[in-house]
Amino acid sequence: MDALMHDPRFAVTTFLVTDFETVTPAGRPAEPIEVAALALRPSGGRLAEVGRFEALIRPPADVPVTSLDVQQTGITEKMLADAAPVAEVMARLDSGLVSPSYRIVAHHAPTEAGLIAHQGTHCPVLAGTPLLDTVRLARALLPGLGSYRLDALLGYYGIRKPAGRHRAMPDAEVTAQVLSRLLTDGCAAGRWRTLLDLDAAAGLQPKQVAAPPEAEQDALF
């Protein structure tokens, strides 16, 4: 990815490859039960890991972890019993973001954008950070691929599926590998040379959560 490495904006950006595991109670937004973030920074012609964060998250008391949730992630209510609530976990993650600029990277980033936005008061730096979507990068670089799901891209690139697939950190780790391949192959194909090219192909602005009606009305008068 030599071309990107010569872009001054790319060279000073830390890429936060982020993944959440969630439960989805009926009639309510998804509640995170695990988060992981890998911090990658351009160095020596590649993206080098400079930090990582992972934590289980205790959901609200009225949000159960169902058998289907356990089947999907392997995370049980017992594992979450002593975990910190989402506000505390997201504040801890946010407190480590002290050296901008950043891009959040996720596979199907609109999902992560929504989860982060709903916790924005606890993680204002993260909630104000633009995102890059590896699904959109793959669609731009690999048109006509039958599927852009993470497992499909792992197969395409010959990346071994992790034993802990559908846990936050293993998914973040393989997403980081997919990102590296997409950036390298996209540079070789002349598809992107700068961070602005990546933003144009796969960038998302932070999601804004609408204020409740009472707050909107108070702001009018």
For the chain, the C-alpha Rg in angstroms (whole number) is 18
Within a domain: 216: no
For residue 163, tell me if it sits in a domain. yes
- Please say if the pLDDT value at position 188 is more than 80: yes
Q: Does residue 102 form part of some domain?
A: yes
Residue 217 counted as domain residue: no
Whether residue 156 is contained in a domain is answered as: yes
Write the CATH number for 178: 3.30.420.10
In a domain, 53, yes or no: yes
- pLDDT for 1 equals 87
Count of domains observed in the chain: 1
The boundaries of the domain holding residue 192 are 2-207
Whether 7 and 191 have beta carbons less than 8 Å apart is answered as: no
In a domain, 77, yes or no: yes
Residue corresponding to tokens 């194909």: 189
pLDDT tops 60 at residue 122: yes
Q: Is 218 a domain residue?
A: no
Q: What is the mean pLDDT of residues 118-135?
A: 97
Rounded distance, CA 7 to CA 101, Å? 14
Structure tokens at 19: 């993944």
139: three-class secondary structure by DSSP: helix
pLDDT digits (tens, 9 = 90+) for 66-86: 999 999 999 999 999 999 999
Model pLDDT for residues 152-161, shown as the tens digit of each residue: 999 999 999 9
